[in-house]
Amino acid sequence: MIDDYVNAKKRGERARRAALAKGEDPYLPALEDFLDLKDAGAEFPLGIREVPLSLIAGTRTRGRQNAFASNFMPLLEPNSEFAVKWSRLYDSQLEDGIREPIKVYEYLNRFYVEEGNKRVSVMSYTGAFSITGNVTRIMPVRDGSERVEIYWEFLDFFRVTEFFEIVFTKRGSYAQLAELAGMDLKTPWPDEKRELLRDGFRRFAEVFESRERDKGVETGDAFLTYISVYPLETLPFDGKDLIARRISDLRREILVRKGGEEAISLVDAPEQLGRPRPAQAAAGELMTLLTGSGYSKANPLRAAFLYEREPEDSGWIFGHELGRKSLESYYGGLVETMAFPNCRTEADVLKAVDAAAADKEAIVFTTSPSLMPGALRAAYAHPELKILNCSVNLSSKAVRTYYARMHEAKFLMGALAATQAKDHRIGYQADYPLYGIIAGINAFAIGASLVDPQCRICLRWSTDIEEGGDDYAWEKEFLRDGIRVISGPDLVRPSDPERRYGVYRVREDGTRENLAAPIWDWGTYYRMIVQSILDGSYKARGLDRDDRALNYWYGMANGVIDVVMSDHLPYSVRKLVNILRKGITSGSISPFDGELRSQKGLVLAENAPRLTGRQIITMNWLADNVDGRILTGDRLREEKRSSVKISGVVPEDGGGREK
């Protein structure tokens, strides 16, 4: 009916005017306008597929593109031949449906029509979700750009699901989606999993796009945030009102994830939070502080600590356990702490948080990146709690994160190690390829190069399956190659009698001499966070914003990390380290200031500003004097992959230079 064409034309005119007001092209884009089809990658026919109408972006070639607004609604006059054909097609669709598939080309997750523009227009007008199309994929040239790299991740996802509809804007999202669905990107998904994903996503998209269509948030990104908190399994059956309420609850989380680096408040000094308090205070001051906050010995602030394993089995967890005990001792009963070991699954995390939630004012510290998924779900199940996660790049509105600037200590230790390595070689053992770990490797390498420009850092990973099952295979590798000065684990397990930690030297008789080690003072760190709650600065105005995540990133200047040195070192070495320490704490020295070079070439020119905190945290390259590569997931031991899946580095150019 011509009346429907008139209504469709009105929609097109509104879209055209809105685009013009924004200075945008009001008509359908043509693929050939921005892609030279002769220079494009290979074409692959995919056959007949269901094509989501929301992903049809324009036409393949120029032609009748001006007959449609950018939303595929018609623009030509109702008395035109075009309008008559459109109306007939609409009537036919109502009676018999559109049976003939359109012909489309897919490029970078968007579809461009070669035959069937009016069919797309009619189906869009009726509110259909998809249309049958004969699809040909145009492969993009892999140029290293973010968009193309995300698309290559999509291709892995498509191979196992044959699912077009979910589009992401951040790398690693498809792997995260597979993890949340209990699958991977290597094995074809069974029909029931694909149907669950399809039905759940379409259910979510129907509600989300009706509410958030103009907010500039990709539906796929919002969907990933949603199922990170609420179960995918029930989504196809949840009521629209329930989904809408949950989307409303997640609004701030979605905005933070959309904003990327700009949506993160990186707090590297307590002064940023408002009224600073010293790390140490007299008992009288503490009593005054707590009295003003409403807490007392009869009504203590309760802090729960969640550990992935038992403290005696992990140097990392043991350090946090010492911090917990220090926190409780410092406040003399005014702060009460609880420890929950063996939180290995999300269910374990939720159970522990439920126990902590008996006190509605409790603060919960989840002490490993692998606990972040459970922490996020717990935060929305218990919005009355303050929940934090010990990680460096897992930004969330509901869960604050905290980590130490360990690269500062590594810089000092690298300089120290170079004074002891007589053959210009230092062994460096790393555990996981997590964000923050890479900055530590590079800071160590840069510190060593300042003392010895010829120094090479030989990198090994303790979790590399190619290094064998022995926990200390990396040390055997170093000794086999004649390397005697080694940077081992930062922390030693309480049950481990060996001295393979910090920077040490292996003597000719096989004994070890410890030269220096980093100190993580988690007690001081936890006191600063707790004090911000007590003095009211935890909700500091300007930092606690709806569209911002808050990440604590304290370092040497805050007293949460340091380096302890052997008394047997020459005084000149200790003096060098102390000079560098003063420069770090004053801010006059940074390992990532001045000219920087990676294994691929120049990173930072000599006179360029020093790297920002976010650039340091998200570092995914290795310094040019490092021999080795960033460990990738396919070489990581199976039992060690959970943390890396959540907080692992995506290395540039496959990881770096092989050792």
> What is the domain class of 269-404+525-557 according to CATH?
alpha beta
What is the third-level CATH fold of 406-522+558-657?
Rossmann fold (3.40.50)
Residues contacting 467, CB < 8 A, separation 6+: 460, 461, 473, 474, 477
Helices vs. strands in the chain: H and E counts, helices first: 21, 22
> Residue 72 carries which DSSP code?
S
CA pair distance 311, 322, nearest whole angstrom: 9
Q: Catalogue the long-range contacts made by 88-95 (C-beta closer than 8 Å, 24 or more residues apart).
A: 89/118, 89/119, 89/122, 90/1, 90/4, 90/5, 90/122, 90/125, 90/126, 91/1, 93/122, 93/123, 93/126
Between the two ends of the chain, the Cα-to-Cα distance in Å is 71
pLDDT of residue 495: 57
pLDDT of residue 323: 96
Strand-pair partners of 565: 516
Report CA-CA distances (Å) from 131 to 49, 84, 392, 505.
8, 22, 43, 68
pLDDT of residue 182: 92
Contact 31/107 with Cβ under 8 angstroms?
yes
Report CA-CA distances (Å) from 596 to 565, 618, 622, 643.
28, 16, 10, 29
Residues contacting 630, CB < 8 A, separation 6+: 433, 438, 620, 622, 649, 651, 655, 656
Contact 517/501 with Cβ under 8 angstroms?
yes
CA pair distance 347, 351, nearest whole angstrom: 6
Q: Are strands 110-115 and 363-366 parallel, antiparallel or unpaired?
A: unpaired
pLDDT of residue 72: 94
Longest dimension (CA), the chain: 97
Strand-pair partners of 27: 69
CA pair distance 469, 491, nearest whole angstrom: 20
Strand-pair partners of 430: 461
The C-alpha angle with vertex 260 and arms to 258 and 262, in degrees rounded to 5, equals 115
> Considering only CA atoms, which of 47, 27, 164 is closest in space to residue 103?
47
Crossing angle, helix 251-259 and helix 240-249, to 10 degrees?
Answer: 60
pLDDT of residue 65: 75
* Same-fold call for 1-140 versus 269-404+525-557: no
Going from N- to C-terminal start, the domains of the chain cover 1-140, 269-404+525-557, 406-522+558-657
Side-chain-side CA neighbours of 163 within 13 Å: the count stands at 28
Residue count of the chain? 659
Q: Are strands 425-430 and 485-487 parallel, antiparallel or unpaired?
A: parallel
Strand-pair partners of 338: 304
Helix (H) or strand (E) holding 10, with range, is: helix 2-21
Which residue reads 């770990």 in tokens?
437
pLDDT of residue 283: 46
Q: Are strands 456-461 and 503-506 parallel, antiparallel or unpaired?
A: unpaired
pLDDT of residue 497: 60
Phi-psi region of 65 (alpha: psi -120 to 50; beta: other; left: phi over 0): alpha
CA pair distance 650, 659, nearest whole angstrom: 19
pLDDT of residue 278: 44
CA pair distance 513, 72, nearest whole angstrom: 73
Contact 558/267 with Cβ under 8 angstroms?
no
Which residue reads 């030269």 in tokens?
515
**What Rg value do the Cα atoms of the chain yield, rounded?**
29
- Structure tokens belonging to residue 297: 């010995």
Q: What is the CATH number of domain 1-140?
A: 3.90.1530.10
Which residue reads 């290559």 in tokens?
152
For the chain, residues with pLDDT lower than 70 are 1, 37-39, 212-215, 260-263, 271-293, 467-472, 492-499, 540-547, 633-634, 637-648, 650-659
- Structure tokens belonging to residue 139: 């492969």
Residues contacting 658, CB < 8 A, separation 6+: 628, 629
CA atoms 574, 575, 578, 583: torsion sign: negative
> Residue 392 carries which DSSP code?
S
Q: What is the 3-state secondary structure (H, E, C) of 578-621?
A: HHHHHHHHHCCCCCCCCCEEECCEEEECCCCCCCCHHHHHCCCC
CA pair distance 407, 528, nearest whole angstrom: 20
> Residue 41 carries which DSSP code?
-
